[in-house]
A and B are shown apart, each in its own frame.
Chain A
Amino acid sequence: MSSTVELLGFGPQGWGHQLLLATLMTLAVSASAFVTGICFGTLGAWAKSAHAALPRHLADGYTTVVRGVPDLLVIYLFYFGGSSALSAIAHALGAEGFYGLNGFLVGMLAVGLVSGAYQTEVLRGAFNAIPHGEIDAAQAVGMGRMLMLRRIIAPRLLHYALPGMGNIWQQVLKESALISVTGLVELMRQVHIGAGSTRRPFEFYITGFTLYLILTTLSGALFRAAERRSALSERRV
């Protein structure tokens, strides 16, 4: 019976390597999902601010539905549905057999879609928080739309959106654990495999707790540091 240190370390008996890789996988799939979410969120925020009713209603539908159903269901939708869709396309193209969507892609799209609904609200709120006078001033100086977007709106948007984004990132990190149901070997799955294989679930799950806590705590610290830097320009003299 190996000791805990042997079990989790980097020796021949140790699971250290796999755990490290799995942690990196968690970071990778979370980051991809987060960026996907920003894309969906930007679209959603833009749609919600539109004058036309259709984009607004679509965006409302998106956020309401996606925030109202369990993430697990969305993952199942993409996992099974994605595979079905992919297989159907492949069959139409003449190929045979079953084509599965890989776990990473499923996770990225599913968690990204869900996170995008929350991002919509954060981005919209952040955009509305930009004092309109600054935009007026940019227009008065004759800035073109692209320039204004790049130099004025984007930085201010970032400042107001950072707190909300920080929360969403932490949400995404934790939600990535659900992607384990697709078989993707990220941290949750690896810890579960190790637990089952060695029949020492407690030590593995505790390690899981520790690693996730490290990830979320570091993330929190990074975002707070970013917020502070962003706030430098806000400080009243």
Chain B
Amino acid sequence: MSELDFLSDTMSRLLEGLPITLQLAAISVSAGMVLAVLLAVARASSRWAAWLVRGYVFVLRGTPLLLQIFMIYFGLGQFAAVRDSVLWPLLRQPWWCAILALTLNTAAYGSEIVRGGLNSVPAGAVEAARVAGMSRFTLYRRIVLPIALRQALPAYGNEMVIMVKSTSLASIVTLMEVTGIAYAIISETYRALEVFLCAGAIYLVLNFLLTRAIALLERRLNPHLRRAAA
């Protein structure tokens, strides 16, 4: 088989894993973002909520993602209570375990990013909203979160890129996303460099597209940061 044939063959095999990679990334990032915002808002509300959130973030940011995945996939099944519960059909599948682990992990990092965004909201903007009679809910919805999320976007974009790469860990619990397929091909053929180049190219393109999309979104959401029309 010629080199070119091998490369194109490898590429098409790898691309079969792309949908799974994309789904893992998209679902965990979106669910994780919602959770991150909830965590960040909770942290700002009461003392014991803040303590809980800080503990959560501490544990998830201080330990390897792989360990977190294993804990959910292998560890939970040890308990009869879990095996008998209504969630078991989901929790015994590697797909849902991976999604859960990825979501919980990105939510921890994301909540710190959103927290930074929340802290950057000018006190004056909040006062003006309060004095106009806005309820806390309206204040957050119309003023605080829009400003905080705009501020957090660059850092959050970075986190999204990290998440796309993190989906590769799902291969260790048997999910056949791009890295899982790469591993299979390499262990068959031992042509590590070529497979690495093909698989690497796929991830690089993904990250490039993602970064551009974020930059575009940043520009669209921040017309107030552009130079004034003359």
Contacts and interface: CB of A to CB of B under 8 A. Distances in A.
B74 interface: yes
A170 B61 CA distance: 10
B78 A201 contact: yes
B215 interface: no
Interface stretch (A35-43, A67-75, A124-132, A155-163): A67-75
Contacts of B77: 201
A208 interface: yes
A73 B207 contact: no
B199 A212 contact: no
A70 B75 contact: no
A174 B172 contact: no
Given A71-B165, A72-B168, A201-B78, A209 B67 contact: yes
A176 B67 CA distance: 11
A73 B67 contact: no
A175 B162 CA distance: 13
Contact of A202 (B63, B67, B78): B78
Interface residues of A, number: 40
| Chain A interface main SS type | helix
A72 B172 CA distance: 10
B36 to A, nearest CB: 19
A140 B199 CA distance: 52
A113 interface: no
Contacts of A65: 200, 204
B174 to A, nearest CB: 13
Nearest to B169: A72
Nearest to A170: B62
Interface stretch (A11-19, A47-55, A77-85): A77-85
B74 A195 contact: yes
A81 B67 contact: no
Contacts of A71: 165, 168
A208 B78 contact: no
30 contacts: A65-B200, A68-B200, A69-B165, A69-B196, A69-B200, A70-B166, A70-B169, A71-B168, A72-B172, A73-B203, A76-B182, A76-B183, A76-B192, A77-B196, A83-B190, A84-B190, A174-B65, A177-B66, A178-B64, A188-B64, A191-B67, A195-B75, A201-B75, A202-B78, A205-B67, A205-B70, A205-B74, A209-B67, A212-B64, A213-B59
Given A83-B190, A191-B67, A202-B75, 20 more contacts: A69-B165, A71-B168, A73-B203, A74-B196, A77-B192, A77-B193, A81-B192, A81-B196, A84-B190, A170-B62, A177-B66, A195-B70, A201-B74, A201-B77, A202-B78, A202-B79, A205-B67, A205-B74, A208-B63, A213-B62
Interface of A: 64-65, 68-74, 76-77, 79-81, 83-84, 170, 174-178, 180-181, 188, 191-192, 195, 199-202, 205-206, 208-209, 212-213, 216-217
